Homo-oligomer: A and B are copies of this chain.
Amino acid sequence: MYDTLPATGYAQIEIEHPETESNKEVSMDFVVVGGDAAGMSAASRAKRHQPDIRVTVLEMTRDVSYSACGMPYNIAVPDRDMDDLVVRRASVFQEKQGIEMRLGHQACAIDPRAHRVEGRDPEGRTFSLPYDALLIATGAAPIFPKIPGIDLPGVLVLKNLEDGRKLKQYLADHHVQKAVIIGMGYIALEMCEALAARGVAVDMIKPRPGLLPWMAPDLSDRVREVLEAHEIGVYDGHAIEGISPREKGGLVVASAGASLACDMVLVAVGVAPNSGLAADAGLQLGPGGAIAVDQALHTSNPDIYAAGDCADAFHVVTGERTWLPLALRANRAGWAAADNVCGIDTRLPGIAGTAVFKVFELEVARTGLTSQEAAEAGFSPATATIKTRSRAHAHAGNSPIHVHLVGDRASGRLLGAQMVGREGCAHRINAPAVALHAHMSVADFSQSDLAYAPPFGPVWDPLLTAANQLLKKL
């Protein structure tokens, strides 16, 4: 998505900075490429730390600082404005915070020796912008699998706000009664619920067998049950042969075992880091092709930082590099990069891979490693999977909670947790997440003084019951 600069073509311009009083006192040029979570967090924080820094944000779309994760919930409600998801408008960053916002500006190349970013402005003119410190916060882009018909009208994706507007407009303009979602990850499942809320029948399809294959089967079966209860077609293990238009209008998604007619296709098979700009500048890449950064968010070039979905992180359990594009990390990495740009030594310990999502009435949560990931990382994993209740004995409104824990036989460490239930999973996962940061043993975690009251859980919290079971296997 970040093309290199064409050798010839548009006239190159210097970006002009308005000559204000403060301009004369500029101590440093901090250029940020990408104006979403990581980029705008960094821009704001740098300006707050040091008002005399000139911060310039290059954003290729017209949107900055919005809640991308909120899009499925916005799409679920026809009359809600997609722009409700904008947290702070570019004009506010510009006028209230003194950040130079360049919307529609595409960064096309970085020249690390000359300390310049080159790109195209909204009129297609090239520009060249000097920097003292540069932050690459270009995010991630949806993956389009190589399927015949993937470029047909009515085949949509959902990554940035403009995608969301287009999808919502498509629903408004077409009488969408049936949708096919290619992919079964978080976004796919959230969009499945959003479309169902609008009365759209949904089929989900993907080539690999297993719904949420990273999840313990006892838990993923609960997700499958709830999808089936809502009459969602779940076609995992179906290699997709192609998408083609129907004669009567609409589309059909063909696979060996199923031919799914629909009015709309959503492609949600995952995202890839927008690291082309960094790679072309000779910066080192890490897992998944993300930009490799150290704990201070430095890339392999000391004046270039990277943060957000385009960059990697250290996993607190393995200590190894990993790429997990998640919103909290993006915001936190943006802050930390700004700290370091401003001379404040901030190092991020890393991520535990904590994630939660809602799918219909279920809360699904995970943190840390799966058993397979643990084995791949050289641990000797043992697991325990339990089913217990969300509330105390005899308390009204009880529902099942399933917990899966992973521990290491060799060290006794807690390595990961997964939870599924109608209530009490989304926030409970934070306890094992903290335990992973603290490198806690399963034994120590099992002794945690967790909260109890009848409306909120059994005396022995589900996590403790699972930890007690896991202890027997270590």
Known: A87-B393, A435-B438. A449 touches B328 (CB 8 A): yes
Please state if A456 and B363 are interface contacts (CB–CB under 8 Å).
yes
**Does residue A451 face the partner (Cβ distance < 8 Å to B)?**
yes
Residues of B within 8 A of A367 (CB): 449, 451
Chain B: minimal CB distance from A90 (Å): 16
Known: A67-B393, A440-B438. A356 touches B452 (CB 8 A): yes
**Does residue A114 face the partner (Cβ distance < 8 Å to B)?**
no
Residues of B within 8 A of A170 (CB): none
Residues of B within 8 A of A456 (CB): 356, 358, 363, 426-427
Please state if A354 and B395 are interface contacts (CB–CB under 8 Å).
no
* Interface segment out of the listed A3-11, A119-127, A147-155, A344-352: A344-352
**Does residue A434 face the partner (Cβ distance < 8 Å to B)?**
yes
**0/1 interface trace, chain A 435-474, chain B, CB 8 Å (1 if under):** 1111010001101111111111101110110000000000
Please state if A70 and B433 are interface contacts (CB–CB under 8 Å).
no
Chain B: minimal CB distance from A155 (Å): 25
* Cβ-neighbour of A449 out of B73, B354, B445 (below 8 A): B354
Residues of B within 8 A of A355 (CB): 451-453
Known: A395-B70, A448-B434. A426 touches B440 (CB 8 A): no
**Does residue A177 face the partner (Cβ distance < 8 Å to B)?**
no
**Does residue A158 face the partner (Cβ distance < 8 Å to B)?**
no
Please state if A356 and B433 are interface contacts (CB–CB under 8 Å).
no
Residues of B within 8 A of A393 (CB): 67, 70, 85, 87
Please state if B392 and A69 are interface contacts (CB–CB under 8 Å).
yes
Chain B: minimal CB distance from A45 (Å): 11
Residues of B within 8 A of A434 (CB): 431-432, 434-435, 438, 440, 445, 448, 450
Complex formed: what's the CA distance from A69 to B391 in Å? 12
Please state if B433 and A352 are interface contacts (CB–CB under 8 Å).
no
Chain B: minimal CB distance from A474 (Å): 15
Chain B: minimal CB distance from A33 (Å): 21
**Does residue A424 face the partner (Cβ distance < 8 Å to B)?**
yes
Residues of B within 8 A of A326 (CB): 452
Please state if A459 and B70 are interface contacts (CB–CB under 8 Å).
no
Residues of B within 8 A of A450 (CB): 328, 354, 430, 433-434
Q: Told that A427-B427, A431-B431 touch, could you supply 17 new A-B pairs with CB distance under 8 A?
A: A67-B392, A70-B454, A73-B395, A74-B394, A85-B394, A316-B449, A349-B444, A349-B447, A351-B449, A356-B451, A358-B455, A427-B456, A430-B451, A431-B433, A433-B448, A433-B449, A437-B449
Q: Top 7 A-B pairs ranked by shortest CB distance?
A: A438-B438, A430-B431, A356-B451, A352-B449, A427-B427, A426-B456, A427-B428
12 contacts between A and B (CB under 8 A): A67-B454, A69-B452, A77-B396, A87-B393, A352-B449, A354-B450, A356-B451, A363-B456, A365-B451, A424-B427, A437-B448, A438-B438
Q: Which residues of A contact B (CB under 8 A)?
A: 37, 67, 69-70, 73-74, 77, 84-85, 87, 316, 326-329, 331-332, 348-358, 363, 365, 367, 392-396, 424, 426-438, 440, 444-445, 447-457, 459-461, 463-464
